[in-house]
C-alpha cells in the first residue's frame, strides 16, 4: 500500500543535490520540512523524521529517482495537481540547514513570479512518498520528494517564507583584486549619542521641536536667525537638512565653549586681584585668600557679609610703642658734627695731653 504525505515548505545555503540543470526562470528558496516527528495527515501515524530519513531523501533526489520534481500551483480546492499546465517551475535543489529542509525552485511561470514578488503566494506543501518505487529498477527506495506545491494553506505550518536567491557570478580570468576592509560607519543612534555626550546637543529635542513646526520655511528662517554666521546655506529648494543643522550647532557649540573658558579665566584673574587688594588694606588675612577668591566668583553676597568694614590688621602704626626721641634730637647734620670734632681735636688743650 502506497503512503503519501503532503508537507509545506524556508531558506539556507544552496547545495546542489539534483541533476545539474541551469536556471531559466527566477531562483527562489523555500523551507518545506523540519526534522523531528511528523503526524501523517490521513492516518494520524507519527512518522520519525531523523538524520537517516533526510539522508535517504537527499540521496533519492540526487539520483533522480523521481526524474522531474515539479512545482505546481494548487487548484481552486487547494488540492495538489500535477497537470503540466498547472506547473509553475521545477525543484532544482534540496538541502538542509540544521533541522530545516529547503528546496531551491526555478520559478518559470510569470504569474507565479509576480505572486511571489507581491507576497500573494505565501506557502508551499511538499508532496512526499514515504517508500517510492524506482521505475528504473522496480525496487522500493524509501522517502522521495515528488513535487513542491504553491499553496496558501499548507499542512505543516510555522515554516520560513519564500526567499529570492540572487546568483553571484565572477570571471575567473584576469588579476585578483583584494579590496581593503571599509572603516566602520557609525549608526545614526551612535552619532546622536556622541553629539549629546561630547557637545551637549540633544538632537532628539531638536527633532521634536522641528516636528512641531508646520511651516518648514519658517523653521529654516528661525534656525538661520538663531545660528547667525554659523547658519548653513539653504539648498535650491530653500530647505535645511538635519545633518546641516547638527553640524552648524556643533561648530557653534565648540566656539561657545572656547569663549566660556576665556571668560572663566578672566573672572578668576579679576577675583584674585580684588582679594589681593583687600589683603593689602588689612581687611582679609593672607591665609583667607583662596576662600575669598572662591566667594568673589560664586557668592558675592556671602563675601560682602564676611568682609569687615575696617582693617583687621594695623599695617602703618605700631600700637603701644613709644618714640625714644620724640623731639627728634637724634637727627643731626653729619657734616657739621665732623667739623666740630675736627676742631676739638686741634685745640691746644687736647694736643698737649696727647703729647704728654
Provide the CB-side half-sphere exposure for 2 (13 A, CA): 9
* pLDDT value at 281 more than 70: yes
Average pLDDT value for residue range 221-237? 60
pLDDT at position 38: 87
pLDDT at position 168: 46
Average pLDDT value for residue range 325-345? 65
Residue among 53, 137, 138, 128 at smallest CA distance from 96: 53
Give the cell for residue 34.
523540519
> Is-contact 156 30, C-beta < 8 A?
no
Residue-wise pLDDT for 76-85, tens only, equals 999 999 999 9
pLDDT band of 216, cuts 50, 70, 90: low
Separation between Cα atoms, residue 346 and residue 111, nearest integer Å: 148
> Is-contact 71 147, C-beta < 8 A?
yes
Separation between Cα atoms, residue 85 and residue 88, nearest integer Å: 8
Q: Which residues contact residue 159 at a Cβ distance below 8 angstroms, ignoring those fewer than 6 apart?
A: 8, 9, 10, 30, 31, 32, 33, 34, 123, 124
* pLDDT value at 314 more than 80: no
CB atoms under 10 Å from CB of 29, counted, come to 22
pLDDT band of 22, cuts 50, 70, 90: confident
CA 127, 41, 35: angle at the middle one, nearest 5? 65
Residue-wise pLDDT for 155-183, tens only, equals 888 999 999 998 644 443 333 343 434 44
H-run or E-run covering 163: strand 163-164
> Is-contact 1 130, C-beta < 8 A?
no
pLDDT at position 175: 39
DSSP state of 311: -
pLDDT at position 179: 42
Q: State how far the alpha carbon of 180 is from the alpha carbons of 172, 173, 183, 186, 353, in Å.
A: 20, 21, 9, 18, 117
pTM of the complete model:
0.44
* pLDDT value at 92 more than 90: yes
> Is-contact 255 229, C-beta < 8 A?
no
Separation between Cα atoms, residue 232 and residue 249, nearest integer Å: 10
pLDDT at position 217: 54
Separation between Cα atoms, residue 7 and residue 155, nearest integer Å: 6
Kindly report which listed range (35-49, 270-284, 308-322) carries the lowest average pLDDT score. Answer: 308-322
pLDDT at position 337: 72
Provide the CB-side half-sphere exposure for 170 (13 A, CA): 5
pLDDT at position 246: 64
Q: State how far the alpha carbon of 246 is from the alpha carbons of 5, 234, 240, in Å.
A: 61, 14, 10
Separation between Cα atoms, residue 36 and residue 49, nearest integer Å: 5
Residue 4: strand pairing partners: 129
CB atoms under 10 Å from CB of 195, counted, come to 19
Residue 30 C-alpha from the chain's centroid: 34
Kindly report which listed range (72-86, 132-146, 250-264, 287-301) carries the lowest average pLDDT score. Answer: 250-264
Average pLDDT taken over every residue of the chain: 77
Residue-wise pLDDT for 25-49, tens only, equals 999 999 999 999 888 888 888 989 9
pLDDT band of 18, cuts 50, 70, 90: very low
Average pLDDT value for residue range 288-302? 90
User: What does the buried/exposed string (b/e) look like for 132-147 if buried means 16 or more CB atoms within 10 Å of the residue's CB?
Assistant: bebeeeeeebbbbbbb
pLDDT at position 142: 94
Separation between Cα atoms, residue 314 and residue 100, nearest integer Å: 97
* pLDDT value at 328 more than 80: no
Amino acid at each position: 500500500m502506497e503512503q503519501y504525505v503532503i508537507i509545506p515548505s524556508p531558506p539556507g545555503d544552496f547545495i546542489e543535490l539534483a541533476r545539474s540543470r541551469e536556471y531559466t526562470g527566477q531562483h527562489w528558496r523555500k523551507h518545506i520540512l523540519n526534522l523531528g516527528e511528523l503526524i501523517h495527515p490521513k492516518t494520524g501515524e507519527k512518522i520519525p523524521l531523523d538524520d537517516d530519513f533526510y539522508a535517504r531523501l537527499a540521496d533519492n533526489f540526487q539520483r533522480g529517482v523521481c526524474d522531474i520534481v515539479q512545482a505546481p500551483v494548487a487548484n481552486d480546492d487547494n488540492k495538489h495537481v500535477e497537470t503540466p499546465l498547472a506547473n509553475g517551475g521545477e525543484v532544482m535543489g534540496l538541502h538542509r540547514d540544521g533541522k530545516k529542509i529547503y528546496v531551491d525552485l526555478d520559478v518559470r511561470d510569470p504569474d507565479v513570479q509576480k505572486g511571489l514578488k507581491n507576497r500573494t503566494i505565501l506557502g508551499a506543501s511538499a508532496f512526499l512518498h514515504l517508500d517510492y518505487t524506482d521505475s528504473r529498477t522496480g525496487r522500493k527506495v524509501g522517502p522521495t520528494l515528488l513535487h513542491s506545491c504553491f499553496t496558501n494553506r499548507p499542512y505543516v505550518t510555522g515554516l520560513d517564507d519564500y526567499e529570492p536567491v540572487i546568483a553571484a557570478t565572477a570571471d575567473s580570468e584576469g588579476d585578483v583584486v583584494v579590496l581593503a576592509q571599509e572603516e566602520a560607519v557609525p549608526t545614526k543612534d551612535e552619532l546622536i549619542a556622541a553629539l549629546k555626550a561630547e557637545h551637549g546637543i540633544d538632537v532628539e529635542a531638536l527633532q521634536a521641536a522641528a516636528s512641531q513646526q508646520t511651516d518648514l520655511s519658517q523653521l529654516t528662517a528661525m534656525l538661520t536667525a538663531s545660528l547667525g554666521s554659523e547658519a548653513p546655506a539653504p539648498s535650491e529648494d530653500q530647505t535645511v537638512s538635519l545633518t546641516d543643522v547638527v553640524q552648524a550647532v556643533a561648530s557653534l557649540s565648540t566656539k561657545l565653549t572656547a569663549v566660556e573658558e576665556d571668560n572663566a579665566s578672566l573672572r578668576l584673574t579679576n577675583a584674585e586681584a580684588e582679594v589681593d587688594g583687600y589683603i593689602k588694606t588689612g581687611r582679609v588675612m593672607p591665609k583667607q585668600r583662596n576662600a575669598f577668591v572662591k566667594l568673589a566668583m560664586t557668592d558675592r553676597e556671602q563675601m560682602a557679609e564676611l568682609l569687615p568694614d575696617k582693617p583687621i590688621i594695623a599695617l602703618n602704626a605700631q600700637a603701644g610703642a613709644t618714640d625714644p626721641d620724640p623731639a627728634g634730637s637724634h637727627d643731626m647734620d653729619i657734616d657739621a658734627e665732623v667739623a666740630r670734632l675736627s676742631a676739638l681735636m686741634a685745640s691746644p688743650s687736647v694736643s698737649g695731653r696727647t703729647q704728654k
